[in-house]
């Protein structure tokens, strides 16, 4: 089964997402920051898909996504953002510009698993979708 990397600074959110993904048959890697997630990709094969919090201390999820595309452009269509601030235009507008799914943390977390499954059905993108 596919490997998903969960990037979130909240341990309880990582734990909940791990449980949902493992029940769905995924292998789960965890990172508590963008820096930790980058190390996972630098030190090994990384993951087949990424679920990433948007607002984290240090580098935001959006900045992580942009950096990820530089090193792993195949993941452009295999990232799902998760946030508690989905209604804030300053949060959702840059994500919409990139064409990446955004799910609210107050939604049913099974939606995150479904979004990752859908992303894995897509043919991997070889070109980033970051606006110029």
Q: What is the pLDDT of residue 125?
A: 54
**Domains, the chain:** 3-121 (3.40.50.2300)
**pLDDT tens, 77-102?**
999 999 988 788 888 899 999 999 99
Nearest alpha-carbon partner for 72 in 42, 102, 95, 51: 42
Q: What is the pLDDT of residue 35?
A: 96
> Average pLDDT in the 25-52 region?
94
Statement: residue 127 has pLDDT above 80 = no
> Average pLDDT in the 29-58 region?
94
> Average pLDDT in the 19-36 region?
96
More confident site: 115 or 132: 115
Q: What is the pLDDT of residue 124?
A: 59
* Gyration radius from the chain CA atoms: 13
Statement: residue 126 has pLDDT above 50 = no
Give the SS3 label for residue 103: strand
Q: How confident is the model at residue 1 (pLDDT cuts 50, 70, 90)?
A: confident
**Sequence-separated (6 or more) residues with CB below 8 Å from residue 102:** 54, 80, 81, 82, 83, 86, 91, 92, 95, 96
Q: What is the pLDDT of residue 107?
A: 80
Report the first-to-last Cα separation within the chain, whole angstroms.
35
């Amino acid at each position: 089964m596919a490997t998903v990397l969960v990037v979130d600074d909240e341990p309880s959110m990582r734990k909940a997402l791990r449980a949902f993904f493992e029940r769905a048959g995924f292998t789960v890697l965890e990172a508590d920051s963008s820096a930790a997630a980058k190390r996972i990709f630098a030190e090994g094969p990384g993951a087949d898909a990424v679920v990433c919090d948007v607002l984290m201390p240090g580098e935001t999820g959006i900045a992580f996504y942009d950096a990820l595309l530089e090193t792993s452009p195949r993941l452009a269509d295999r990232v799902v953002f998760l946030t508690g601030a989905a209604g804030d235009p300053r949060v959702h507008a840059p994500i919409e510009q990139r064409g990446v799914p955004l799910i609210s943390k107050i939604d049913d977390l099974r939606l995150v698993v479904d979004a990752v499954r859908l992303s894995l059905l897509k043919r991997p993108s070889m070109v980033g979708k970051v606006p110029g």
